[in-house]
């Protein structure tokens, strides 16, 4: 009987020790899990802050780049000078030479180009020109120039269709070589120079 009691008490003591150890292990596990969770939240918060800061910086950089590009484009536009009268004259005859007649007529003032019927007549005349080359462009009568009107003496080499010899004005007046024209230039309201007249004499 004494032996049974002794065994019982030993088993009880062992059970109590095992229970105590089990509780301590569970407590340690909970602590570790809590620490791990807190660390994960902190890392996640830090990561979110880093991403947010990075995103803000990128957005700010893009906005700065766009602003710089806009300022650069504006500055570039403001610094580019408008074409000179001499350039417009050369372009005008070059367009005729390339058979880009509507574009050439668009470089004439409204007064010179006239209405649709007049533009059609200009088109017929310019289309009869087989080739036209600018040999020289010289300022003419500069003492009469104003801020909005200038005259140039233009020497041209022209080849005209033989079919135009029977026109009221044979070859539309382009039959001589070199062919000289006194070209009056007028500045339009938008600041661009345009052809205002093509005269055979000053």
161-202: pLDDT as tens digits: 999 888 878 888 888 889 999 999 999 999 999 999 999 988
Whichever domain contains 140, its CATH number is 3.10.450.50
Same domain, yes or no, for 74 and 91?
Answer: no
- Residues of the chain with confidence (pLDDT) below 50: 2, 25, 38-50, 52-59, 61-62, 64-66, 68-70, 72-77
Same domain, yes or no, for 64 and 140?
Answer: no
Please report the pLDDT score of residue 170 as a whole number.
87
Give the domain extent around 169: 85-199
Same domain, yes or no, for 189 and 105?
Answer: yes
Q: What are phi and psi of 183, to 5 degrees?
A: -100, 120
Residues in Cβ contact with 140 at an 8 Å cutoff, skipping those fewer than 6 apart: 151, 152, 153, 182, 202
Structure tokens given for 115? 């209405």
Count of structural domains within the chain: 2
Please report the pLDDT score of residue 13 as a whole number.
63
Same domain, yes or no, for 68 and 138?
Answer: no
Cβ neighbours, 10 Å, residue 129: 21
**Euclidean distance between CA atoms 124 and 109, whole angstroms:** 18
Same domain, yes or no, for 51 and 147?
Answer: no
Please report the pLDDT score of residue 2 as a whole number.
47
Same domain, yes or no, for 90 and 185?
Answer: yes
Please report the pLDDT score of residue 124 as a whole number.
94
Q: What is the mean pLDDT of the chain?
A: 77
Same domain, yes or no, for 69 and 161?
Answer: no
Q: What are phi and psi of 84, to 5 degrees?
A: -75, 165
């Amino acid at each position: 009987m004494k032996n049974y009691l002794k065994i019982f008490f030993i088993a009880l003591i062992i059970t109590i020790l095992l229970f105590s150890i089990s509780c301590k292990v569970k407590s340690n596990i909970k602590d570790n899990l809590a620490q791990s969770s807190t660390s994960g939240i902190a890392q996640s918060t830090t990561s979110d802050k880093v991403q947010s800061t990075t995103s803000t910086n990128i957005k700010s950089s893009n906005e700065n780049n766009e602003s710089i590009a806009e300022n650069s484009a504006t500055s570039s536009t403001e610094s580019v000078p408008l074409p000179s009268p001499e350039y417009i004259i050369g372009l005008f005859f070059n367009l005729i030479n390339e058979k880009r007649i509507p574009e050439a007529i668009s470089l004439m003032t409204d007064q010179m180009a006239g209405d649709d019927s007049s533009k059609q007549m200009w088109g017929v005349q310019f289309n009869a020109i087989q080739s036209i080359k600018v040999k020289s462009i010289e300022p003419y009568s500069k003492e009469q120039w104003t801020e909005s009107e200038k005259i140039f003496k233009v020497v041209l080499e022209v080849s005209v269709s033989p079919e135009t010899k029977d026109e009221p004005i044979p070859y539309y007046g382009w039959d001589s070589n070199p062919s000289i024209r006194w070209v009056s230039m007028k500045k339009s309201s938008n600041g661009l120079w345009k052809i205002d007249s093509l005269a055979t004499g000053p």
